């Protein structure tokens, strides 16, 4: 490994690497795109992204497997999700096959930054797109940039995954028929205030309920919920304003096909949450964070799995999915893309 990085002490922050991919959309067409060295972006003071937040992103990881390969996990689903996002934000779609190729090129250009197997660290990959030409009257941009950079990140949980405590938020994340189901930067801008407030009050995350009735579980600012019933069924909330997490969709397959669990994807009422045995948050960054306690305006819901470790079903799901990602367990057809 060429880079002088202390893999075991990496946090979840930005470290500049050697190469990033850039493609430009001008006069109605994408150029070929290429890897560049310069991490800085120069744009007009009136760029659409700066004035009207026309920007979206994705997030995925590259892993070094047990047998020394470098792989990514289901990048085709990230490509498809970014296509859906771009269509909703009136941005030009970057063709899905070329999208995956841009990921491959970026990782290949930064192979020395892929952390070693067993370190717990991974290479986080951030594809994103934004409107770059000057726009002052409200309308979509005409020119866009699609970019991919990557940065090595440490294990999300140093010293093991301790269950977290979260609160039910009085703020809403996404309106019905709004943009909750797409990966728009604007969804995160408006979540910054609620998350800072949650942290000040000692909570790790916000549980958002559906804004229309405030009776159903949606998700947190950046992760979907999974619940386990007392008899071992996996239940995940369904709603048109939840971001379709690839981790959550993969966990549903792992539960059914690898662990023989019953799986339900349906509306989940907040009233039934107290009856679940285990709760977790899932997303690319942490894979699964176990939730030990949910506080709803002073009323506590404590899960049977407690505050010391992951519940048994959550642990099995976590171990199986990370085993697939790291090449220890055979993956379903098409889940692993070998890069090197």
Ligand X SMILES: *Cc1c(COP(=O)(O)O)cnc(C)c1O
Active site (catalytic) residues: 183
Contact characters 192-231, ligand X, x per CB under 6 A: ---------------------------x--xxx-------
Which of 12, 10, 59, 61 is closest to 324 using CA atoms?
61
Residue 204 and residue 166 in contact, taking contact as beta carbons nearer than 8 Å: yes
Please report whether residue 89 would count as binding ligand X according to CB under 6 A. no
For position 284 contacting ligand X by CB under 6 A, the verdict is yes
Residue 280 binds ligand X, judged by CB under 6 A: no
Residues 6+ apart with CB under 8 A from 110: 17, 18, 19, 123, 150
Among residues 320, 313, 256, 264, the alpha carbon closest in space to that of 287 is found at 320
Of 223 and 317, which has the nearer Cβ to ligand X?
A: 223
Please give the residues from 169 up to 188 whose contact with ligand X meets the rule CB under 6 A.
183
* Cα 41 from Cα 35, distance rounded (Å): 14
Query: Any contact of residue 33 with ligand X (CB under 6 A)?
Result: no
- With CB under 6 A as the contact rule, the residue among 283, 290, 292, 327 that binds ligand X is 283
Residue environment code for 298-332, b if the CB has 16+ CB neighbours within 10 A, otherwise e? eeebebebeeeebbebbbbbbebbebbbbbeeebe
Contact string 43-82 vs ligand X (x = CB under 6 A): ----------------x-----------------------
Query: Distance between CA 30 and CA 32 in Å, rounded?
Result: 7
Candidates 81, 136, 96, 104; CA nearest to 21 is 104
CB of 223 to ligand X, least distance (A): 5
User: Candidates 25-33, 141-149, 245-253, 303-311 — which segment interacts with ligand X by CB under 6 A?
Assistant: 245-253
Angle 316-292-123 (CA atoms, 0-180°, nearest 5)? Answer: 55
Decide if residue 247 touches ligand X (CB under 6 A): yes
Least gap, CB of 60 to ligand X (angstroms): 7
Choose between 19 and 167: whose C-beta lies nearer to ligand X. 167
Residues that bind ligand X (CB under 6 A): 59, 183, 219, 222-224, 243, 245-248, 283-284
């Amino acid at each position: 490994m060429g880079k002088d990085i202390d893999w075991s002490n990496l946090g979840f922050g930005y470290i500049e690497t050697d190469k990033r991919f850039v493609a430009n959309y001008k006069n109605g067409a994408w150029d070929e795109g290429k890897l560049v060295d310069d991490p800085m972006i120069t744009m007009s003071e009136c760029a659409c992204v700066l004035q009207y937040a026309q920007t979206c992103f994705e997030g995925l990881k590259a892993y070094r497997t047990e047998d020394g390969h470098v792989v990514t996990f289901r990048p085709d689903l990230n490509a498809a999700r970014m296509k859906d996002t771009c269509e909703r934000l009136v941005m030009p779609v970057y063709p899905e096959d070329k999208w995956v190729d841009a990921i491959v090129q970026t990782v290949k250009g930064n192979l020395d930054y892929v952390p070693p197997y067993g370190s717990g660290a991974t290479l986080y990959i951030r594809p994103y797109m934004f409107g770059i030409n000057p726009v002052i009257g409200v309308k979509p941009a005409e020119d866009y940039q699609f970019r991919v950079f990557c940065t090595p990140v440490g294990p999300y949980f140093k010293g093991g995954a301790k269950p977290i405590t979260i609160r039910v938020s009085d703020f809403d994340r996404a309106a019905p028929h709004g943009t909750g189901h797409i990966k728009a930067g604007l969804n995160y801008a408006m979540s910054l205030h609620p998350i800072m407030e949650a942290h000040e009050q000692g909570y790790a995350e916000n549980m958002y309920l559906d804004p229309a009735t405030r009776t159903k579980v949606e998700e947190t600012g950046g992760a979907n919920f999974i619940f386990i019933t007392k008899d071992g069924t996996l239940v995940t909330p369904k709603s048109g304003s939840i971001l379709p997490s690839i981790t959550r969709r993969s966990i549903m397959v792992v539960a059914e096909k690898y662990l023989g669990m019953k799986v339900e994807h349906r509306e989940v009422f907040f009233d039934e949450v107290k009856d679940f045995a285990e709760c977790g948050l899932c997303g690319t960054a942490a894979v699964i964070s176990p939730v030990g306690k949910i506080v709803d305006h002073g009323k506590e819901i404590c899960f049977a799995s407690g505050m010391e470790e992951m519940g048994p079903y959550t642990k099995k799901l976590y171990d199986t999915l990370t085993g697939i990602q790291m090449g220890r367990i055979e993956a379903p057809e098409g889940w692993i893309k070998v890069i090197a």
